[in-house]
A and B are shown apart, each in its own frame.
Chain A
């Protein structure tokens, strides 16, 4: 048996070595070996893209960064040489902080696309503020980022979460015609305030509220509450991992009323996880649909081998704003910051402008309801909660 013990140890060792190797493989963000980049003329800059490029949430970040790269590739820079460098944070604030320090300390960076998520943005925006480097986020939606302690350098292309709850409620009452909505949340920082806002906007149109947990897979108690409440629509504030089993169990119990979730369910993974039970489920997202016949969609498909995914147009727009700044003659961070703050122009996702907090102006706030059809999310209707 000693021989076989040795064999097992060898197998274990190989497995560990394999793990180590693959770990190295995935942490390399492929930024290239560009160094400082001051060798050319006086227009030689880098733009950083910071977000979850690997891990469970990568599917809602990578397309936006690819979109930004596409904008850069299509740009005719003239005298300027601009390069985009990708920084993987896995969406983790703790991993984002050193990344931000590195970017802010390197003067060749003139702008930041990101953070993609609210948590990492919250953790890093003061670092960027101290470095004076302008940020344009394609997808960070937490309300407090601009409403509670705004920083000058932060701008975003998506409206904040308070609008989203209102948009969901508006969709439920106006499009579905619901009068008895059952609201469920996942009892954490994203889902709970979102459901609170839905509840607030719905008023009497909500009949019951229930809370679940992150990591939960058995929703039998919630199902029996839904059965006795007999709602005409169900809203869930939370993420894909719990929404998939919840929706499956709702449909298994024979409850066929419309199901709607927030942008926590937006992404290709939702359709994959929920399977046939997810047919017709609605996801509300501040991301505008991309016309499949547009040149952007065709160019994106050619460059990355797939249709543009989550926030791809917003990523493209964020890069475009920075590139327009360089065209306009901005040659340092202060000039770029000034240019971005005052920027107005048409983008792929929306008509771009920033208010005094760096937010999308109220009259531009728009959401889209996407319907899960055959495993993919298809745009259904535009919802303007601010009207």
Chain B
């Protein structure tokens, strides 16, 4: 136990925690939106994120972006990768909805069945990247860690005076990017006409249909939005960590789901609060003990929070929050 290390480096650990938590929060949005509208945990969402990271690699490879490229190339490649990852992830989420959920919903299957088909979709996607694509295309597909070129190289942009904390360009991109996407999504759901439909279906699907809200379209919209956010998370993740792998989504998905529950599942702002809180708790725990204790500490905090706030830190669901 080394509390001195935590106290002396508190600023640094907080920044590390926010960076980690921003990515959790963006992935958590997908879980929380789907839950808010359908009361369903989409277990294939972790693979929606995974597809996004591979798309980033694909874009970089296709346009030949490598580390050390010129400024125009860096900006162009990053933006193109962002758009492609958002589209690919949203497309994957939509495909999962069409294949695994919609046919069952039409037949009125019990809620448990959706969980199983979701897990099934998740496994299929993992195996597609770990095995099937490898058989057809060879490398880089397969069950190994894959390098993604660091197109955006890490550089210190400024140092916070007083505490002497160096802030790099990648961290700024991750934190600002995550918060901007969150605010945009929050505004969309709370202000726009389509967003009102989402909240209406979340509150009371039957009444919403009677009022002329197309429930199927709302569900599609929710999967697309959640998928697009996972795509953003995928780009930010690759900017920070420069790798991908066929099962990369598993741990991130688990942590993001935890973050969603911690913040209050079904609540968009809860995902942000839960993600950042979980990220910071994990990094603090790793600083005091070591990283092999991260999960112990994180889940103890989850249990303690849920004991006192069973609906999560912010509680409430998508529909009830500022309906």
List residues of chain A with CB under 8 Å of any chain B CB. 4-5, 8-9, 11-12, 15-16, 18-19, 22-23, 25-26, 55-56, 59, 187, 210-213, 215-222, 224-225, 228, 240-241, 244-245, 248-249, 252, 269, 272-277
Cα(A274)–Cα(B150), bound, Å:
11
Tell me the interface secondary structure of chain A in the complex.
helix
Which of B5, B20, B106, B242 is A5 in contact with, Cβ under 8 Å? B106
Across the two chains, which residue of chain A brings its CB closest to B245? A241
Across the two chains, which residue of chain B brings its CB closest to A248? B242
Which of B102, B145, B147, B286 is A222 in contact with, Cβ under 8 Å? B286
Beyond known contacts A212-B292, A221-B13: 19 more, CB 8 A cutoff: A4-B98, A5-B98, A12-B99, A16-B124, A26-B131, A26-B135, A213-B291, A215-B250, A217-B248, A221-B290, A222-B291, A224-B12, A224-B13, A228-B5, A228-B9, A248-B242, A252-B154, A273-B145, A275-B147
Across the two chains, which residue of chain A brings its CB closest to B127? A19
B144 partner residues in chain A, CB cutoff 8 A:
56, 59, 240-241, 269, 272-273
Contact B19 A220 (CB under 8 A): yes
Q: Could you give, for residues 120-156 of chain B, a 1 whenever the CB lies within 8 Å of some chain A CB and a 0 otherwise? A: 0000100110011001000110111111011000100
Which of B13, B132, B143 is A19 in contact with, Cβ under 8 Å? B132
With A5-B102, A8-B99: A211-B291 Cβ-Cβ less than 8 Å? yes
B149 partner residues in chain A, CB cutoff 8 A:
275
Contact B294 A213 (CB under 8 A): yes
Cα(A120)–Cα(B176), bound, Å:
48
By Cβ-Cβ distance, the 6 closest A-B pairs, closest first, are A221-B286, A220-B16, A56-B143, A275-B147, A273-B145, A187-B292
Contact B145 A244 (CB under 8 A): yes
CB distance from B288 to the nearest CB of A (A): 9
Counting chain A CB atoms within 10 Å of each CB, which of B16, B99, B142, B291 scores highest? B291
Which of A12, A211, A273 is B292 in contact with, Cβ under 8 Å? A211
Query: In chain B, residues 202-236, which have Cβ atoms closer than 8 Å to a Cβ of chain A?
Result: none
B251 at the A/B interface (Cβ < 8 Å)?
A: yes
B251 partner residues in chain A, CB cutoff 8 A:
215-217
Contact B243 A11 (CB under 8 A): no
B241 partner residues in chain A, CB cutoff 8 A:
217-218, 245, 248-249
Cα(A240)–Cα(B143), bound, Å:
12
**Count of CB-CB pairs between chains A and B under 8 Å:** 126
B103 at the A/B interface (Cβ < 8 Å)?
A: yes
List residues of chain B with CB under 8 Å of any chain A CB. 5, 8-9, 12-13, 16, 19-20, 67, 95, 98-99, 102-103, 106, 124, 127-128, 131-132, 135, 139-140, 142-147, 149-150, 154, 240-243, 245, 248, 250-251, 283, 286-287, 290-292, 294-295
A16 partner residues in chain B, CB cutoff 8 A:
124
Cα(A252)–Cα(B139), bound, Å:
26
Cα(A55)–Cα(B12), bound, Å:
39
A212 partner residues in chain B, CB cutoff 8 A:
290-292
With A11-B99, A12-B99, A222-B291: A273-B135 Cβ-Cβ less than 8 Å? no
A252 partner residues in chain B, CB cutoff 8 A:
150, 154
CB distance from A123 to the nearest CB of B (A): 21
Cα(A245)–Cα(B145), bound, Å:
9
Contact A275 B5 (CB under 8 A): no
Cα(A16)–Cα(B67), bound, Å:
38
Contact B67 A276 (CB under 8 A): yes
Across the two chains, which residue of chain B brings its CB closest to A16? B124
Which of A8, A12, A23, A221 is B287 in contact with, Cβ under 8 Å? A221
Which of A22, A55, A241 is B132 in contact with, Cβ under 8 Å? A22
Tell me the interface secondary structure of chain B in the complex.
helix
A9 partner residues in chain B, CB cutoff 8 A:
99, 103
CB distance from A248 to the nearest CB of B (A): 5
Contact A220 B20 (CB under 8 A): yes
Cα(A244)–Cα(B140), bound, Å:
15
Cα(A9)–Cα(B286), bound, Å:
46
Across the two chains, which residue of chain B brings its CB closest to A223? B16
Contact B283 A221 (CB under 8 A): yes
**What are 15 inter-chain pairs, A to B, with CB distance below 8 A?**
A8-B99, A19-B132, A22-B131, A56-B143, A212-B290, A213-B291, A213-B292, A213-B294, A218-B241, A221-B287, A225-B5, A228-B8, A244-B145, A245-B145, A252-B150
Contact B145 A213 (CB under 8 A): no
CB distance from A197 to the nearest CB of B (A): 18
Contact B291 A221 (CB under 8 A): yes
CB distance from B8 to the nearest CB of A (A): 8
A275 partner residues in chain B, CB cutoff 8 A:
147, 149-150, 242
Across the two chains, which residue of chain A brings its CB closest to B17? A220
B131 partner residues in chain A, CB cutoff 8 A:
22-23, 26
B20 partner residues in chain A, CB cutoff 8 A:
218, 220
B146 partner residues in chain A, CB cutoff 8 A:
272-273
CB distance from A194 to the nearest CB of B (A): 15
B250 partner residues in chain A, CB cutoff 8 A:
215
A221 partner residues in chain B, CB cutoff 8 A:
13, 16, 283, 286-287, 290-291
Contact A224 B16 (CB under 8 A): yes
A218 partner residues in chain B, CB cutoff 8 A:
16, 19-20, 240-241
With A18-B132, A56-B143, A272-B146: A224-B292 Cβ-Cβ less than 8 Å? no
Cα(A224)–Cα(B245), bound, Å:
25
A269 partner residues in chain B, CB cutoff 8 A:
144-145
B154 partner residues in chain A, CB cutoff 8 A:
252
Cα(A137)–Cα(B165), bound, Å:
52
Which of A213, A215, A272 is B140 in contact with, Cβ under 8 Å? A272
Cα(A36)–Cα(B256), bound, Å:
55
Contact A248 B124 (CB under 8 A): no
CB distance from A364 to the nearest CB of B (A): 32
Contact B242 A245 (CB under 8 A): yes
Which of A25, A215, A241 is B135 in contact with, Cβ under 8 Å? A25
Cα(A355)–Cα(B102), bound, Å:
65
Cα(A249)–Cα(B20), bound, Å:
13
Across the two chains, which residue of chain B brings its CB closest to A5? B103
Cα(A215)–Cα(B246), bound, Å:
12
Cα(A380)–Cα(B66), bound, Å:
28
B8 partner residues in chain A, CB cutoff 8 A:
228
Across the two chains, which residue of chain B brings its CB closest to A217? B241
CB distance from B20 to the nearest CB of A (A): 5
